Amino acid sequence: MPVLRGFRGLRYEDSEKIGDLVCPPYDIISRAEQEELHQRHPHNAIRLELAKDRGPEGYGKVAAELDQWVRDGVLRADPTDCLYVYRQDFEYEGQPRRVVGIIGALELEEFGEGAGVLPHERTMEGPKADRLALLGALRLNVSPIYGIYRGSGALSDFFGTLEHRPTAARSQDDQGILHRMWTISAPAEVELLASVVAPGPLVIADGHHRYETALAFHRSHPDGAPGSDSIMCFCVDADSEDLVVLPYNRAVKVQGDVDVAECIQRSGAAPIKADAVATLADSKADHPFVFVTQKDDFLVEVADGEVVQAVGERARAWRDLDVVALHEAALPKLFPGGVEELTFSKDPDEIRRLVADQGWDLGVLLKALEASQIVDVARSGERMPQKASYFWPKATTGLVFRSLR
């Protein structure tokens, strides 16, 4: 079962300027955004989350800067253990939405049968090495991972009462998203919040690399290190909150000297003459994709039977995913020589730019997922391919930090 505990959060003393101090999570920050955030404020969380000077030596300097912030009173620890309720209000497709959940210290568990914490996608070694170096130097959870659970809306009434309490932090970001956070320290309320998450399982929606990094750090300190048995996590009820899961589109480099458009046409796919995004949305195929080439866009449709033929009788929840059909059936059939490299973006225009201007052979646009699909895949014991889902909005970095010292 997932165990969520309170912790003494390390927070900015000047909450009035929190909008200038927070930043997005590290893995969605462009170089231009990184530079702008460094310039925005000398204490912006970007200086911890994605410092300019990275690597073991650079992170030593980051740790020294963090220590200076604490000495100067820029950051102060809460006097008692707390859970933190974090709410996002935003618009999506013209409709008001909200996501509200609990930030706490989630006890680490090894993945496996019967675990209370489950992954849903595969990870890459590079980001884990970077995050491990950062964690080892700072001894700090800089940003929360993001977990979803099925709670049947049990906390909706409690969350509603917070509208009448003062916030610990409040800001509106450049996208118009309103971020608010409340500290919860009353023992009865802390117990209530933790008890709703406890039945589990809790599925990692965002933060697989950070979770696996935290596990590696904990294993490497067998005699114990303060707080290393837990990780800061934002826990959200998938049954009651307006979760938006965007597709992670792909740009692909194919092995060998291949005429990509010709390979696609040989499969029977015809160029799209209408709007590509609308064509994708209107397709009734089991697994439709838009393949973007320098010449044309193509609607590529894959049937369930082709996926079963490729992967066998594996878990139905996993087989039903478009991203599985793409990587296990569509790409191997079209390009038997294999894929050399992949990159990812939620923005279709960015994928088109990579194909048109940056030498990528192929772009692939996918349909969005439902949050329930992600929970079902995790419960089945399978994992999605890397970068299979993009939860939006992201949990912002800097509202609260968690010290491991």
Is there a contact between 364 and 299 (Cβ–Cβ < 8 Å)? no
Which residues constitute the domain of residue 282?
A: 248-367
How many whole angstroms separate alpha carbon 201 and alpha carbon 192?
Answer: 17
The enclosing domain of 283 has a CATH number of: 3.30.1760
204-263 pLDDT per residue, tens: 999 988 999 999 999 988 676 788 999 999 999 999 999 999 888 999 999 988 899 999
Is there a contact between 98 and 88 (Cβ–Cβ < 8 Å)? yes
Residue written as token pair 């390390």: 10
Is there a contact between 88 and 179 (Cβ–Cβ < 8 Å)? yes
Q: Are residues 355 and 235 in the same domain?
A: no
- Structure tokens, 117: 């914490």
Is residue 374's pLDDT more than 90? no
65 in a structural domain: yes
How many whole angstroms separate alpha carbon 24 and alpha carbon 346?
Answer: 15
91 in a structural domain: yes
Is residue 393's pLDDT more than 90? yes
Q: Are residues 193 and 295 in the same domain?
A: no
Is residue 186's pLDDT more than 80? yes
Q: How many Å from the N-terminal Cα to the C-terminal Cα in the chain? A: 26
Predicted pLDDT of residue 373: 86
386 in a structural domain: no
- Structure tokens, 77: 């620890």
Is residue 385's pLDDT more than 90? no
372 in a structural domain: no
DSSP string for residues in 81-112 = -BEEEEEEEEEETTEEEEEEEEEEEEEP---S
94-141 pLDDT per residue, tens: 999 999 999 999 999 998 878 899 988 777 777 888 999 999 999 999
Predicted pLDDT of residue 56: 74
pLDDT, mean of residues 390-399: 94
H/E stretch holding 211: helix 208-219
384 in a structural domain: no
381 in a structural domain: no
Q: Are residues 59 and 184 in the same domain?
A: yes
DSSP code, position 7: B
Q: Are residues 197 and 116 in the same domain?
A: yes
Is there a contact between 56 and 137 (Cβ–Cβ < 8 Å)? yes
Mean pLDDT of the chain: 93
382 in a structural domain: no
Q: What is the CA radius of gyration of the chain?
A: 22
Is residue 270's pLDDT more than 90? no
DSSP code, position 394: P
Query: 3-state class of 248 per DSSP?
Result: coil
Is there a contact between 290 and 364 (Cβ–Cβ < 8 Å)? yes
57-85 pLDDT per residue, tens: 789 999 999 999 999 999 999 999 999 99
User: 174: buried, middle or exposed (CB in 10 Å: 19+, 13-18, 0-12)?
Assistant: exposed
Q: Are residues 217 and 202 in the same domain?
A: yes
Predicted pLDDT of residue 187: 97
Q: Are residues 399 and 324 in the same domain?
A: no
Q: Are residues 72 and 184 in the same domain?
A: yes
What domain count does the chain have?
2
Q: Are residues 240 and 253 in the same domain?
A: no
Q: Are residues 26 and 170 in the same domain?
A: yes
387 in a structural domain: no
How many whole angstroms separate alpha carbon 7 and alpha carbon 230?
Answer: 10
Predicted pLDDT of residue 308: 95
Q: Are residues 234 and 357 in the same domain?
A: no
Q: Are residues 276 and 235 in the same domain?
A: no
Q: Are residues 275 and 187 in the same domain?
A: no
H/E stretch holding 254: strand 249-254
How many whole angstroms separate alpha carbon 402 and alpha carbon 82?
Answer: 11
